[in-house]
Amino acid sequence: MKETINNLKKVYEYGKEFKLNMIIFTTLSFIFVIVDVIYPIFTAKQITYLTGGLFEQLIIVSIVILVYSIINAIKSVAIRKNTQIFFRGTFKKLQIAVSKEILKIKIKDIDKNSSGVFIERLNKDCNELSHIFTIGVGNLSGLLSNIGIFIAVLIINKFLFLFYLVSSLIITYLHLNKVENVNKKDKILRVQQEKNIGLTGELVRGIRDIKMLNASSSFIDEIEKSITFVSDKTYDMRNTEMSYNLLIEIVTSLMEFMLIIILIILVKINNINLATAMVLFSYRSNIMNNLMEKIGELLINIKSFNLSSKRVFSMFDETEFKKEKFGIKHLSKVNGDFEFKDVTFGYTDNKKVLDNLSFKVNANETVGFVGKSGVGKTTIFSLLCKMYEVKQGLITIDGVDINELDEDSIRGNITIIGQNPYIFNMSIKDNLKLVKNNLTEKEMKEACKLACLDDFIDSLPDKYDTIVGEGGVTLSGGQRQRLAIARAFIQKTEIILFDEATSALDNETQAKIQRAIDNLKREYTIMIIAHRFSTIINCDRIYFMENGKVVDTGTHNDLLKRCPSYKKLYESEIKEK
């Protein structure tokens, strides 16, 4: 019980903005619990005490019953409208809060879990938490109401389905129409929900690129727009459903009114006695089954709620996932100098990727990293962006320990272009705007031209508004790389990291991109990891790595003369051509 109360308090923090709606649906629910308990007993007694000669009084009582039924139907709609407002507001706030927490989780913990872990918590579990107040109040009020009605039924005794054959056919027809119209809206909703799930999935699957692009705020804006759209469509569908429910309840009330009239007439002509009529009218639902069902539902919902609470709030308190930690020092202007001092790092405790690595890169210098796969080249880039934390040693930017710098000083000043860049399921334009919200048409086209992508985009029917699919699935590997390069050109950070960024390009395009990279020299600090020596051959300096260490450094010609391993690697590439 204590756990449930604590979890309710946590969820309420996200729904308290809509507390008026909660007060309305809770108050109405419990007021009508009392009414539902007293009303059947009161009505039964009033009708029982009437004699056969007081026909006019029976009509008055019947009208009272009709008015009560209509008010009850309107009450139900009022409760549902307010519960929907409370639910959608709470759900939206929870999802946005969880999205922000996911972006704070350490990559190490992201690596350990599948994306489904986070997607499920972001969608299903947040839904479960947002529903608890509405479902809980409904369960409790329904349970108490059924107990009261059950007592009334014991007093009245029995039930007959005499009039219900015709009325049920009419109500069934209305239900079928409701299902048809709600399904139409549900189809539209599901399409958007699929897009929303895809977008929230990309939040997890594309988290490295979001972090490296320093695009957390932009992506949260996209998430919020998508969530709001789904929320509005859901609300529209629920309104349609509630309107039909109101009509069905009014028709049901009219049918019950007609049943009362028929029973009165039967009593008037002495076909049945009043006591039997009361039994036939009152015993119209299987109260015992409903009572047990409500108790079962309440227990199941509490258990499910507590489980979802544990899964969601563990993402906030670091009990399950550790959060990234940054310093407070901010560099408003980064020169681009950085240094690794005796850095040792491994993704697991028993295997080193970098071993006492030291090197320095000066501002506006272009350096290359060469070595066989697995020597730690890409790891250098990940550590520089603080995607992982070093176990030993020191990394500095402009002489400042990166552990002292805030997130924007690091990721806002570094652009990394990988061999498998993540392209989001948006338009080409929106992919580019992720790194610069106020991107102009001119800047966008210049960046794409520089990345040799402009001719391809111009050949598309929707040009820059073309949706590229999840992960950029509609693009070739080379097109994805060029789009990522264009994105980097737009970002224009002081430090640009190329990690096999031209690996999927043909020789002609690779040569064009190489010229574009050459044009950036002397203005930016550039680091290049490349499989092709042609990409790094003109670097100011090249670091040759083996076993997590720099074994030699110099220009291409210097290394050819004095480093046999470098020369061998270079000659093996020439032979492959």
Q: How confident is the model at residue 292 (pLDDT cuts 50, 70, 90)?
A: very low
Does pLDDT of 27 surpass 80? yes
Q: Specify the pLDDT at position 153.
A: 46
CA distances from 163 to 126, 247, 259 (A): 44, 19, 6
Q: Specify the pLDDT at position 230.
A: 78
Residue 443: partners with Cβ closer than 8 Å, 6 or more residues away: 436, 490
Q: How confident is the model at residue 158 (pLDDT cuts 50, 70, 90)?
A: very low
Average pLDDT over residues 313-339: 84
Q: Specify the pLDDT at position 290.
A: 44
Q: How confident is the model at residue 291 (pLDDT cuts 50, 70, 90)?
A: very low
User: pLDDT digit string (tens) for 112-123?
Assistant: 776 667 777 888
**Range with the lowest mean pLDDT among 165-169, 203-207, 437-441, 529-533?**
165-169
User: pLDDT digit string (tens) for 240-288?
Assistant: 878 877 887 788 778 777 777 777 776 777 766 665 566 556 645 543 3
For the chain, the first-to-last Cα distance in angstroms comes to: 71
Does pLDDT of 385 surpass 50? yes
User: pLDDT digit string (tens) for 416-456?
Assistant: 887 777 888 888 999 888 888 888 888 888 888 888 888 88
Residue 449: partners with Cβ closer than 8 Å, 6 or more residues away: none
Calculate what percentage of the chain has a pLDDT beyond 90: 1
Place of tokens 């704070």: 104
Q: How confident is the model at residue 162 (pLDDT cuts 50, 70, 90)?
A: very low
CA distances from 190 to 154, 196, 204, 237, 379 (A): 45, 9, 21, 11, 41
Q: Specify the pLDDT at position 382.
A: 86
Place of tokens 């998430």: 223
Average pLDDT over residues 54-74: 73
Average pLDDT over residues 565-576: 73
Q: Render 242-310 in DSSP notation, one character per residue.
A: HHHHHHHHHHHHHHHHHHHHHHHHHHHTTSS-HHHHHHHHH--S-HHHHHHHHHHHHHHHHHHHHHHHH
Calculate what percentage of the chain has a pLDDT beyond 70: 77
**Which of the pair, 53 or 496, is modelled with greater confidence?**
496
Q: Specify the pLDDT at position 439.
A: 86
Q: Specify the pLDDT at position 168.
A: 59
Q: How confident is the model at residue 293 (pLDDT cuts 50, 70, 90)?
A: very low
Q: Specify the pLDDT at position 172.
A: 62
Q: Specify the pLDDT at position 220.
A: 81
Q: Specify the pLDDT at position 281.
A: 65
C-beta of residue 212 within 8 angstroms of C-beta of residue 385: yes
What is the average pLDDT score of the chain?
A: 77
Does pLDDT of 459 surpass 80? yes
Does pLDDT of 328 surpass 70? yes
**Range with the lowest mean pLDDT among 160-169, 252-261, 333-342, 514-523?**
160-169
**Range with the lowest mean pLDDT among 73-77, 175-179, 335-339, 437-441?**
175-179
Average pLDDT over residues 144-162: 53
Average pLDDT over residues 63-68: 76
**Strand pairing category for 392-397 and 400-401:** antiparallel
Lateral strand order in the sheet of 392-397: 354-361, 338-345, 392-397, 400-401
Q: Specify the pLDDT at position 446.
A: 87
Q: Specify the pLDDT at position 99.
A: 87
**Which of the pair, 510 or 288, is modelled with greater confidence?**
510
Average pLDDT over residues 220-224: 80
Does pLDDT of 157 surpass 70? no
